[in-house]
Structure 1
Amino acid sequence: MRIAFLIGSVDVGGGNYVVCQHAMHAAAMGHEVAVVVQTSFTKAQLAWHPGFEQLRLIPLDQLRSERFDIAVATFWKTVSELHRLNAGQYVYFVQSIESRFYPAEQVHMRRLVDRTYDLRLPSITEATWIREHLRHFHGSECLLARNGIRKDVYTPHGERHAPRISGRLRVMVEGSFGVPFKNTARTVRLVRRARPWQSWLLTTTGMSWYPGVDRVFSQLPIAEVPKVYRSCDVIVKLSFVEGMFGPPMEMFHCGGTAIVYDVSGHDEYIVHGHNALVAPMHNEATVLDHLRRLQDSPRLLEDLKSGATETASKWPDWPQSSARFFEHLEACYAAPKVSRQWLEEATRELREYFQAQSQSATFVKEGHRRVGWLRRLKNDTRVYSSLLRYIADGYR
């Protein structure tokens, strides 16, 4: 089978990591696999994941008349250009409800993303909560293949940057900066308030120093990441939006535990008091209390680590996960075919909708600006008098 995965970029990220794992598995099974990339890239950008070195990558603009059996959109923005791939079937791999990536005030962006789910393409997702959301709000039935984990890489034993020390809590914050729903900067500040023995930062953002943390690990290759996990006792991950909650599970496999918000999908494997500690969304006081409890109670910390190890032992590895994914991909291929022409027309309507929404948003913003200006005129007699003089001068 000839399979194409359409991705937005080759940048470091959880979504691209998952795509690489499934694509590598497909290639190992003997399928012809291509990763089509919407944006240009350099060879240096590929080093973070070995899959990019092994797989065939094609910039979208260089794609010619090649035909695929299946073309898979992997992010909402890729849906709009999926029709540019000549394929026998089109599939949507939904890795989160991505309308939540945008703040509530960006209503037109949220509506645009949600309309990609309303297309009801044959779909696969990675988390139960996403499947339920699509069924309830979009009338779309979605197949489920939970993400796996590299059990040969994420292990409790192996190299580390520093040994764990009983009674001295080393806390790790993971996340990129400049993405509001990741909440990384706020998490660092919150950990600093708790004053653990040490705090470390693991990020995909390029940096060598960050205020309030003892060590920074930036843009690491995958093989280097477990060394950081094995050195820390707990990961604090307070994102507001998740698809499949990956970093806490990676920490579980490396012998640590986690503190998280009750973000959608956390309950896929996190059990408060058994393998991690959970705080209500935005409840920073509870997060601080959790951190202080772990500092003051080495026994609680060890019990949570034990529960996390038990959870990790039952979680599927990537071969199991990708095998399930490709069972579902074959089911999508057998489903009623999505016409390329229909898909092109549908995505054109999406673009027109977005343009109309953007113009409407601009109009409303301009209206608010003008109303504010008129109110200023009403309340400021000097400005009002100056305007009258200006108008009068124009008629002389």
Structure 2
Amino acid sequence: MSKIGELGKKVEFVLKNEGVGSVVKKSYTYVKLTGARMRDKKYTGKVFKDVLFINGVDFEALPHPPRYRVLHQIEQLKANNIDCDQNFYLHLNFDQVRNYRVFIIYRAPYNEELGKFIRKAKELNKTVIYDIDDLVIDTKYTDTIKYLKTMSPEEKDGYDQGVRDMQKTLSMCDAVITTTEGMANELKNYCPKVFINRNTASEEMVSLSEEAYAKIKCQKDELGNVKLGYFSGSITHNDDFILIQPAIEKLMKKYQNVELHIVGLLDIPKEFESFKDRVIAHPFVNWKELPDLIASIDINLAPLEESIFNEAKSENKWIEAALVRVPTVASNLGAFKRMIQNEKTGVLCNTTDDWYTALESLILDKSKRNNIAENAYHYCIENCTTVLTGYSLAKFLKSMMRPNIAFVLPALNISGGIMVAFEHCKVLRENGYDVVIINDDFDESRWVTFSGIEFPVMPSRYSYFKGSFDKVVATMWSTVKFLEKYTNIKERYYLVQNFETNFYKSGDTLRLEANSKYSPNVPVQFLTISKWCQAWLKEKYEKSARYLPNGIHTENYKGTKRSFEGKIKILIEGDCGVYYKNVDESFKITNQLDRDKFEVWYLSYNAKPKDWYKVDKFFNKVPFEEVSKVYKACDILLKTSILESFSYPPLEMMASGGYVVAVPNGGNVEYLKHEENCLFYEQGNIQDGVNSILRISNQKELRENLYKNGIKTANQRNWNSLQKEILEFYS
């Protein structure tokens, strides 16, 4: 069935069962949510921020809790320079696991999609935190809620399963954020790391409260009635009201000017029948209208029945009343006991007699009401608002963030310097780093796999960067631009793998731009994998660079000792479209060889052979993991590059047990030694190149020496022995 057909069926069902009004209301909600989701879909996966809140409570069904625990905490963090997003857990896009450093899951029950998301986040060394503001994580707590006894067995089973599912999600997390000390004490039994971030009032709440107070202030001065307000919230608070019912009943009988205002769901006791004209029931109101309603009363009632569940509840009712300068009388329990200074910012009660005495004194003494209300207002403005309380939350989240590092790559194809960067990424990931790849070309891929490890990719041209990076590594001159433009980076690195100025011929404007990045306009730490690069960085640009030797996975290249029986296979490697690879010279040499004795293979990632090249086998865009097979199948590598920072092919050929003939350059003299593990020939001397190949082919003793030392050189460069150096490299 089409989506339009499905929608029609739903409209027909609602119309038949719930009426026209419900159709209008649900249609409005559908359009509103669909528009928001379409905008989110366009944005999802294309942003990098620090925190994603995953909300497990439907805003439409129960707006109050997620407003406090999601929207208000987002406001706290934004006020402290931590950018956040939020998403409903059932709308979570798996790709979003790439885009954030920390995930805060608010009251979401476990499902397989969420479990898969959390496991992937952990694999990527990201931080996952649970946020919970009620003890709905174990039936031993929820079974103490008397209202649940009114549920049918089926309803209770469903409720209990939801509680168990929340505990399951919590158990997968690194830490828990909660609202009160009572909550924290219990949660420590389920997760050792618990942080208290109390509920606070948002900027909009404060603003609306100020407006409400200004509107009602004059009216209160004119009226003689004293209004007691009980904002019950849900039907589960019946038992709380029963605590104070005798005191309220007695006061209303004694003082004819006392009114009881009830907001929300509450069973009004039959004992109140005699003064029912002074018991005013109000329906639930939108939170933006709530300040007006609270401001209209004179005394806020906040009773709580003593239980472990209620000990954990927050002080929201006191804060909301304080913001409109209404005094609160509350049970001397949990968060109220912690936050209210008795007789100064509120009144705390233990017994029914306490409630009667406290309320009577406030009913009779308007100045006392005003004094307590003003004290509570000033305390809450300073200590219970999002803007002024978010620093400790931001500090906690930063302490929980795993170190993150981004490598800005010019492309994702695994070759040369990009492979080196991925080797570093692999070691860093395996040692606890949250590693991100920022891809600088037009590829929109969101994941890349190297050596069996999947790395998240943020395409630089299609992404919005607003999060923080501990370290960012540029890997080519063009990627240094990211270091220069993006400000939210603690440490900037430039991994120099070649003298990139000479990638371009004189007259090419890119030559000037490449050279400028050795003098970047932001502080940058220089790194290199070549002693040759280390030397010219110091000599030409006065830049001190850390040096780390390049490595090789020798286990992937182990081949057999070459027999030199039958045709001898010569391997030429390099992009003939890049002038400094000097591939033409390789073919000028091999074109002179006797093709009855020699066979020529050509391996190139991008360019294809020129017409005059004599090639027996051509390999193009060979996957990285397949390259070693080509080396193992050949006997001699002919490598004629004139510019290399570190030349990998000779090392790969030696690791496979083969032989190397090469032109010496800055990138190979670091480990290649003439007559020891290779034969060098002078660039441009074609005959010398031919003779070097013939010498290896004909002289068994020379081959023995080159083979032994070649294997030794490769083993000294094994990546597995360089892990410590890589970690120190980026420390």
TM-score, structure 1 as length reference: 0.75
Q: Please tell me whether the aligned partners of residues 164 and 170 of structure 1 are also in contact (alpha carbons under 8 angstroms).
A: no
Task: Say if 2:534 is the partner of 1:131.
Answer: yes
Is 1:245–2:647 an aligned residue pair? yes
Which letter maps to 2:534?
R
Partner Cα separation in structure 1 for residue 454 and residue 551 of structure 2? 20
**Alignment of structure 1 residues 194-213 onto 2, 5 Å:** 194-195=593-594, 196-205=597-606, 211-213=613-615
Q: 1:183 aligns with which of 582, 603, 606?
A: 582
**Deviation larger for 106-115 or 193-202:** 106-115
Q: Which residue is equivalent to 1:101?
A: 503
Report the equivalent of 1:16.
Answer: 418
Give the Cα–Cα distance (whole angstroms) in 2 for the partners of residues 34 and 59 of structure 1: 11
Match for residue 557 of structure 2 among 154, 174, 191? 154
- 1:54 partner letter: E
AA partner of residue 69 (structure 1) = D
Deviation at 1:208, TM superposition (A): 9.1
Q: Deviations over 1:101-141 (max 9, x none)?
A: 122x2375434322211237211100111101111111110
Q: Aligned residue for 2:622?
A: 220
**488, 491, 515: which one pairs with 1:114?**
515
Equivalent residue for 2:565? 166
Structure 2 partner of 1:59? 459
Distance in structure 2 (CA, Å) of the matches to 1:43 and 1:167: 45
**C-alpha deviations, 1:157-196, integer Å up to 9, x for none?**
59xxxx8543642211111231111122331232121335
Larger CA Rg, structure 1 vs 2 = 2
For 1:253 and 1:169, the matched residues in 2 are separated by 18
Gaps of 5+ in 1: 331-396
Q: Secondary structure at the match of 2:665?
A: coil
SS of the residue 2:684 aligns to: coil
Counterpart code for 2:670: E
Distance (whole Å) between structure 1 residues aligned to residue 689 and residue 443 of structure 2: 39
Q: Give the 3-state SS of the residue equivalent to 1:327 in structure 2.
A: helix
Q: Is the 8 A contact 1:182 1:238 kept in 2?
A: yes
Secondary structure of 1:123's aligned partner = strand
Task: Give the letter aligned to residue 59 of structure 1.
Answer: P
Amino acid at match of 2:552: I
Kept in 2, the 8 Å contact 1:75–1:94? The answer is yes
Flag the 1:12–1:44 CA change in 2: closer, same or farther, 3 A. farther
Alignment-mate amino acid for residue 569 of structure 2: R
* Displacement of 1:50: 4.2
Contact 1:170/1:234 (8 A) holds in 2: yes
**Matching residue of 2:484:** 83
Aligned to 2:637: 235
How far apart are residue 248 of structure 1 and its match? 0.4
Cα pair distance change 1:319/1:83, threshold 3 Å: farther
Match of 1:92, SS state, is strand
Offset at residue 207 of structure 1 (A): 5.1
Find the residue that maps to 1:267 and give its secondary structure. Answer: coil
Matched ranges for 1:32-47 at <5 A: 32-41=434-443, 43=445
1:246 to partner: Cα distance: 0.7
Taking the aligned partners of 1:164 and 1:214, their CA distance within structure 2 comes to: 20
Query: Where does residue 404 of structure 2 map in the other structure?
Result: 2
1:146/1:92 CA distance change after superposition, 3 Å: same
Name the aligned partner's letter for residue 514 of structure 2.
V
Displacement after TM superposition at 1:209 (Å): 9.8
- The one-letter amino acid of 1:56's match is P
Using the alignment, how far apart are the partners of 1:242 and 1:111 within structure 2? 19
1:356: which partner in 2? none
Q: Paired residue for 1:310? A: 712
Identity %: 25
Partner of 2:270: none
* 1:278-303 Cα deviation digits (max 9, x unpaired): 11233323112212222333432333
Show the counterpart of 2:721: 320
Structure-1 residue corresponding to 2:473: 72
2:730 alignment counterpart: 329
Once superposed, which parts of structure 1, at least 4 consecutive aligned residues long, lie more than 6 Å away?
none
SS of the residue corresponding to residue 713 of structure 2 reads helix
TM superposition shift of 1:241: 0.6
Please give the residue correspondences for 1:230-309 in structure 2 after superposition, counting only pairs within 5 Å.
230-309=632-711
**C-alpha contact 1:240 1:263 (8 A) present in aligned 2:** yes
Preserved contact between residue 445 and residue 457 of structure 2 (Cα < 8 Å): no
Aligned twin of 2:592: 193
Deviation at 1:56, TM superposition (A): 0.8
Q: Distance between the aligned counterparts of 1:35 and 1:324, measured in 2?
A: 21
1:55-96 CA distances to partner (integer Å, 9 max, x unpaired)?
011001313212110111110111123234421111111111
Aligned residues: 322
Give the drift of 1:325.
2.7
1:290-326, Cα deviation, whole Å (9 max, x unpaired): 12222333432333222211222222x2233343133
Aligned-residue CA RMSD in angstroms? 2.5
Amino acid of the residue matched to residue 606 of structure 2? T
**1:262 to 1:128, Cα distance in 2 relative to 1, 3 A:** same
Q: Contact 1:5/1:74 (CA < 8 Å) preserved in 2?
A: yes
SS at match of 1:313: helix
Cα shift readout 1:224-266 (whole Å, capped 9, x = no counterpart): 2121111211100100110111110011110011011111132
Secondary structure in 1 aligned to 2:438? strand
**Compared with structure 1, are the counterparts of its residues 44 and 26 closer, same or farther at alpha carbon in structure 2 (3 Å cutoff)?**
closer
Which structure 2 segments of 5+ residues have no match?
1-402
**TM-score scaled by structure 2?**
0.42
